[in-house]
Amino acid sequence: MAAVDTAPKSATPIVLPGLARALMSAGKLDQNAAEELVKKAQGARSTFIAELINGGTITSADLAHTISSVFGAPLIDVDALDTIRIPSDLLDAKICQAYRVAVLNKRGNRLIIATADPTDHEAAEKIKFTTQMGVDWIIAEYDKLGRFVEKVTKGATEALDSIVSGGDFEFGDVPVEETADAQDVGQNDVEDAPIVKFLQKMLIDAFNMRASDLHFEPYEHNYRVRFRVDGELREISSPPPAIKEKLASRIKVISRLDISEKRVPQDGRMKLKIGPERVIDFRVSTLPTLFGEKIVIRILDPSSAKLGIEALGYEPEEKERLLNAIGRPYGMILVTGPTGSGKTVSLYTCLNLLNKPGVNISTAEDPSEINLPGVNQVNVNEKAGLTFATALKAFLRQDPDIIMVGEIRDLETADIAIKAAQTGHLVLSTLHTNDAPTTLTRMRNMGIAPFNIASSVILITAQRLARRLCGTCKEPADIPHEALVEAGYREEEIDGSWVTYKPVGCNACNNGYKGRVGIYEVMPISEEMQRIILQDGSALEIAKQARLEGVRSLRTSGLYKAKIGMTSLEEVLAVTNE
């Protein structure tokens, strides 16, 4: 009879996670306790670290200090961080919640991420695969990190998940001013409470982040919301595509647009009340795309026109030239630059300086962006026949002292504006050209006679907006001598007495930049320039004369801003061309 093997079979060995082995090596945990916690976590479908903290084996603070010491990783108190400054567009909120991690910053192609368990290889691989970036861990306390992740990820994306399922949420009572009634079309859509609150949250978040524009963009399989912060678009939220129709209807209703018309672009305005006295205006533009209406909302903060000329970034000699020009009783002042370069703010800053009880100011714009009390503002309406030229003709019968034309687009408008400048009126306007000298040749190409240009234009300002370096985290940049010369610095300037700076990134800024600063080319029209214009000279001849008279080009002005540490050389090269 064969013998029966009664010896007990060996149990399957328990594989200890990296965190358990680290705690054992530090003397904080023994083998048996670690194995028991692993078994408990497997039975409860939890994680080892959750069972470790919740079971009271070790405190969250003690664990964080131990892990920081064992792995030589920095330790951070996430309670001291401002959640508003934390980037929310670098890692999906669901990944942050699932692995209890939070992205704190980005440096190059690496993410700085707070975690309580740096041995979680699954989390690291998931993040690397999703973002295609490396991971640098910073240790945080498990309990605090959980609350912090909840605050950071509890935003618009989570809110809109509940919209589709019919849920509701609270964002606070900040009323949007109703400018139209939702009557026959889409009544339920436009009054859907979650949609209303989501739109309010987006507007308030954009204002708090100092954004200039909000983009609501529908695509075939997704929908995204982006803010333009310091001139750079950042993705803020990815709500479900199912809400695009309701959101578009809500925006169109309060902007006094036709919510039944989805085939042509529309323009409108709306307001947001922030507190009892603060009201912010928004300009709304809709555009039919393949998968729905794209909506862009521009924030029009009236306080930006009242900052004063010192806040715009003019250098002393540039400011003096501009003030001398707007102090003249007649003539034409032109501000030129691409869309979004701050031309409107510059013009309104000048108007604010000129706006006195004894002066009659009239403006024609498409549309009027900033409401300035004491100024007679007219919105151009080409469908109704109210063009820039029509408005200008009417202004001349209204006994004006100063006229501002939003943009000179055609010969008729230019001709009337020049006649006004020649007959005792100060005229301010804009043109879309690359720099100040080419503005004069552009006017010539529009069909304006050289004599009229020379006798009316008194000053041209070309401008760009460059991102301003964060004063908290900027660092000296090691730029080779050859690169500085190639950028435009003269050999005698590169004497080692100054350094350029580069962006780094911290909790107080946006990837190393905070706010924007103007770069200007302020060119008064001198007698010699008038002679060149009368001789039908080229933009190159005018530019050469401007340099002889001490007028800085846009590139030279930008290089000076980089030299004094206000912006980076990289940013100057990006926004100027030479």
**Residue range(s) defining the domain that contains residue 358:** 304-463+518-551
DSSP of 111-154: EEEEES-TT-HHHHHHHHHHHSSEEEEEE--HHHHHHHHHHHH-
- Which of 519, 517, 518, 509 has the alpha carbon at shortest distance from 471? 509
In a domain, 558, yes or no: no
Q: Are residues 311 and 450 in the same domain?
A: yes
Same domain, 382 and 424: yes
pTM recorded for the entire structure: 0.65
Instruction: Say if 181 falls within a structural domain.
Output: no
- Say how far apart CA 542 and CA 537 lie, in whole Å: 7
- Give the gyration radius of the chain's Cα atoms: 31
Query: CA nearest 185: which of 119, 257, 237, 115?
Result: 257
* Residue given tokens 């002042």 in the structure block: 333
Cβ-in-10-Å burial (0-12, 13-18, 19+) of 137 comes to: buried
Please say whether the dihedral angle defined by the alpha carbons of residues 313, 316, 322 and 328, taken in this order, is positive or negative: positive
Q: Kindly state whether residue 576 falls inside one of the protein's structural domains.
A: no
289 and 435 assigned to the same domain: no
Is 257 among the domain residues?
yes
Distance CA(409)–CA(430), nearest Å, equals 9
Q: Of 300, 324, 348, which residue is a domain's last?
A: 300
Sequence-distant contacts of 383-391: CB under 8 A, at least 24 apart: 387/413, 388/364, 388/413, 389/413, 389/416, 391/364
Q: Tell me, yes or no, whether 354 lies in a domain.
A: yes
User: Which tokens go with 287?
Assistant: 């555009």
Cα torsion 413, 419, 421, 423: sign: negative
Q: What are phi and psi of 3, to 5 degrees?
A: -75, 140
Per 3-state DSSP, the chain is made up of helix, strand and coil in percentages (nearest 5) of 40, 20, 35
- Shared-domain flag, residues 49 and 102: yes
Specify the pLDDT at position 275: 67
Q: Which two tokens stand for residue 223?
A: 């929908």
In-domain check, residue 291? yes
578 within domain boundaries: no
3-state SS class at 264: coil
Together in a domain, 335 and 394: yes
Distance (Å, rounded) from C-alpha 259 to C-alpha 268?
Answer: 12
Q: Are residues 417 and 546 in the same domain?
A: yes
pLDDT tens, per residue, the chain with 578 residues: 444 454 444 455 677 888 888 888 888 888 888 888 888 877 777 788 888 887 777 888 888 888 888 888 899 888 888 776 777 667 877 888 888 899 888 888 889 999 998 888 888 888 888 888 889 999 999 888 888 888 877 655 555 555 544 444 333 333 444 433 433 334 444 455 778 888 888 888 888 888 889 999 998 888 899 999 888 888 888 888 878 888 999 999 989 999 989 999 998 888 887 766 677 888 899 999 999 999 999 988 766 656 677 778 888 999 999 999 999 999 999 999 888 888 888 888 899 889 999 999 999 988 787 778 889 999 888 878 888 889 999 998 999 999 999 888 889 989 999 999 998 999 999 988 889 999 988 999 899 999 999 999 999 999 999 999 988 889 998 888 888 889 889 888 888 788 889 998 887 788 888 888 899 999 999 999 999 999 999 999 999 999 999 999 999 999 999 999 999 999 999 888 76
For the domain that residue 249 is a member of, what is the CATH number?
Answer: 3.30.450.90
Assess whether 269 and 403 both reside in one domain: no
Q: What are the backbone dihedrals phi and psi of residue 406, each rounded to the nearest 5 degrees, phi first?
A: -55, -45
Are 296 and 308 found together in one domain? no
- The predicted pLDDT at position 169 comes to 36
| Claim to verify: residue 312 and residue 293 sit in the same structural domain | no
Work out the widest C-alpha separation in the chain, in whole angstroms.
128
Question: Are residues 372 and 269 located together in one domain of the fold?
Answer: no
What CATH number is given to the structural domain containing 541? 3.40.50.300
Together in a domain, 317 and 440:
yes
Nearest CA among 474, 409, 485 for reference residue 442:
409
Q: Do 117 and 213 belong to one domain? A: no
Q: What's the total number of domains in the chain?
A: 3
* E strands, 239-372, in order: 266-274, 278-289, 292-300, 331-336, 361-365
| Confidence at residue 307, expressed as pLDDT on a 0 to 100 scale | 62
Strand partners, 283: 269, 298
Measured between alpha carbons, how far is residue 310 from residues 323, 520, 523, 549, 550 in Å?
Answer: 12, 13, 18, 23, 21
What tokens does 71 get?
């792995």
In a domain, 497, yes or no: no
Give the separation between CA 454 and CA 331, rounded to whole angstroms: 10
CATH code for position 96: 3.30.300.160
Query: Cα separation of 77 and 418, whole Å?
Result: 63
- Of 256, 282, 300, the position where a domain reaches its end is 300
